[in-house]
Chain A
Amino acid sequence: MPIAAWVVIGIVVVLLIIFIAIYNGLVRLRNQVKNAWAQIDVQLKRRHDLIPNLVETTKGYMKYERETLEAVTKARNIALQASSAGAGERAKAEGELSSALSRLLAVVERYPDLKADQNFLALQEELTSTENKIAFSRQFYNDSVLRYNNQTQMFPSNVVASMTGFKAGEFFEVTVAAEKEPVKVSFTE
């Protein structure tokens, strides 16, 4: 065979190897995005599971906070229903739940007996941590999406991405204004 043919074969093989490497890299990133999304899911579920317990524990102490407690229970039920819905609606429901919870934890300050309850303290630790975990998993998810999207848009991986149908991922944005605002507590009973 002439040298030219070997050169052509060589170039094709090298291109193929590069193509496979880029493709595998994209798959890895996409899987990471999927895993990160699953992690958010786990933490949101965990929060839903904690709430009935929290309401049960605080109910005995909080004689005058019926509305606050009911708001939490209601927000949880809405969030539960929304867990099969799309990302946007879900983020909204979870945001409502977050603000209902922070209102509840803010009024706890007025009940020293409750604050001394071992059961409640353990629950509060779990809840604080779950909130943190939700925030961190969202943070990691968005970082993963950013990296994945960069790969699908930058040369040369964008060529491979468009040929094999990799689509850009969606960021998990907090759209609810309430979650970003500081909690206001009114001391009227």
Chain B
Amino acid sequence: MWEQIRSNQIRSVVLTIGMGALLILIGYFLGLYFFDSATGGLIIAILVWAILSLIGYFQGDSILLGMSRAKKISRDDHPRLYNVVEEMKIASGLEKVPDIYIIDDPALNAFATGRDPNRASVAITSGLLQKLNRDELQGVIGHEISHIKNRDVLLMAMCSILLGTIVLLAWYGSRLLFFGGAGSRRSSSSGGGGQAQIIILVVALVFMILAPIFAQLIYFAISRKREYLADASSALYTRNPEGLASALEKLGASTGQLKSANKATAPMYIINPFRRKGMAASDLTSTHPPISERIRILRAMAGASFNDYDQAYRQVHRGGRGVVPAASLAAGTVPISTVKLEGEAGEPNEIQRARETSDAMWRLSNYNTITCDCGAKLRVPPTFKEPTIKCPHCGRTHQV
């Protein structure tokens, strides 16, 4: 599984260089057209990209978490979630427990972010948290942790910034080309070469339109492959592919869209937050493989190793190339864990999980919860200043 990370990196580096080449070409055309010199355009393109990348590198995770209004939790806020993350951290051999966030949203989704394994976070929506039982939660968290372990998170963040820069420059560039702008200045300054001028204009225009599309296709290719690998790693860590499969089933059945997601952040989530209902085809313009296919692969696994995942993948795809790099396949046989650990009898049901999650959310919004002897729960808002409060149900008074 360590060789896999390396082979991943090589492939991704090649694809990222492809995107970088697109950025440089855009800068080249912009410069050629607007400043008469390719260098000026190149400098602008690289400067924009560098500034965005620096922001993304140092603040990307806080921006993403802030945008999705995620709240950081400690062990006491939600012991089960905290424990499951710790379990997956141990199984994956990460050195540090990532920060854990809950997004107060009924939509079902989860994502991981952070620039390296030592500064990483996982976030999960409250909707998903109450929907999943322990095994399923383990599968989902295992998937997110393996994004951290395989160092997908930084790469995907950097790729999305590169993509964003290309889209941004192409958008402004093509608008400026259309509506004249600097174009008139250029034609007066260089007199004779009218025809060459038109050719450059047409090439530049076509390129401005195509570049964002190409960049996006490359981006999706990187992202999809990594989703499969994260599924495979999650099955390996938990030794239980059924957990993730069953979680994905629940995720696939929901139709709610996450309010706070946007197109650039979509690949960070465990399922595509913008999917349409019933969409099953794996087309080129999706950041994620179709859920039904991911479930079929997981359920076809005979063991829990990468090798088993690769075979299941081939089986679902009827031959062809596998998805796991060859170097990591030699890991030997890994049985699926059939030993059920004790305590399952006491596993909370969905109502209890919903209660537990909403308690955590109230607490995170600084509400004070008082349980009255009559069984009522009083939620005291942080703006409540009185020293005592009366239970509206039975009339007992409580200290705040």
Contacts and interface: CB of A to CB of B under 8 A. Distances in A.
Interface in B356-376: none
B87 interface: yes
Interface string A117-133: 00001101111110111
A104 B303 CA distance: 31
A140 B342 contact: no
A115 B349 CA distance: 13
Contacts of A183: 342
Given A32-B93, A36-B93, A124 B87 contact: no
A125 B79 contact: yes
A113 interface: no
Given A115-B346, A124-B343, A132 B87 contact: yes
Nearest to B86: A133
A128 B93 contact: no
B83 interface: yes
B9 to A, nearest CB: 18
A180 B93 CA distance: 25
Contact of B90 (A102, A126, A137, A146): A137
Nearest to B82: A129
A34 to B, nearest CB: 13
B239 interface: yes
A136 B91 CA distance: 5
Interface string B77-93: 00110011011101111
Contact of B91 (A129, A139, A179): A139
Contacts of A101: 342
A129 B86 contact: yes
Contacts of B332: 146
How many of chain B's residues touch chain A, expressed as a range?
20 to 34
A32 B95 CA distance: 11
Interface in A141-175: 143-144, 146-147
For B88, B337, B345, which residue has the most chain A Cβ atoms within 10 angstroms?
B345
- Identify whether the interface residues of A are mostly helix, strand, loop, or mixed: helix
A108 B346 contact: yes
Contacts of B346: 105, 108, 115, 121, 124, 128
Given A128-B342, A180-B339, A139 B239 contact: yes
Nearest to B347: A128
Contacts of B83: 125-126, 128-129, 132-133
B203 interface: no
B341 interface: yes
Given A101-B342, A106-B342, A125 B80 contact: yes
Nearest to B342: A102
Contact of B341 (A109, A135, A147): A135
A39 interface: yes
Nearest to B94: A140
Interface in A70-125: 101-102, 105-106, 108-109, 115, 121-122, 124-125
Contacts of A125: 79-80, 83, 343
A136 B343 contact: no
B98 to A, nearest CB: 16
A133 B79 contact: no
Query: Which of B80, B337, B343 has the most C-beta atoms of chain A within 10 angstroms of its own C-beta?
Result: B343
A84 to B, nearest CB: 23
A102 B2 CA distance: 35
B343 A105 contact: yes
A131 B342 contact: yes
Contacts of B342: 101-102, 105-106, 128, 131, 183
Contacts of B237: 136
Interface of B: 2, 79-80, 83-84, 86-88, 90-93, 134, 237, 239, 332, 337, 339, 341-346, 348
Interface of A: 32, 36, 39, 43, 101-102, 105-106, 108-109, 115, 121-122, 124-129, 131-133, 135-137, 139-140, 143-144, 146-147, 179-180, 183
Given A106-B342, A133-B83, 8 more contacts: A102-B342, A128-B343, A129-B87, A135-B337, A136-B91, A139-B91, A143-B93, A144-B93
Closest 8 CB pairs of A and B: A128-B343, A129-B83, A136-B91, A102-B342, A136-B90, A105-B342, A132-B87, A124-B346
16 contacts: A105-B345, A106-B342, A106-B345, A121-B346, A124-B346, A125-B83, A129-B84, A131-B342, A133-B86, A133-B87, A135-B337, A136-B90, A136-B91, A139-B239, A140-B93, A147-B2
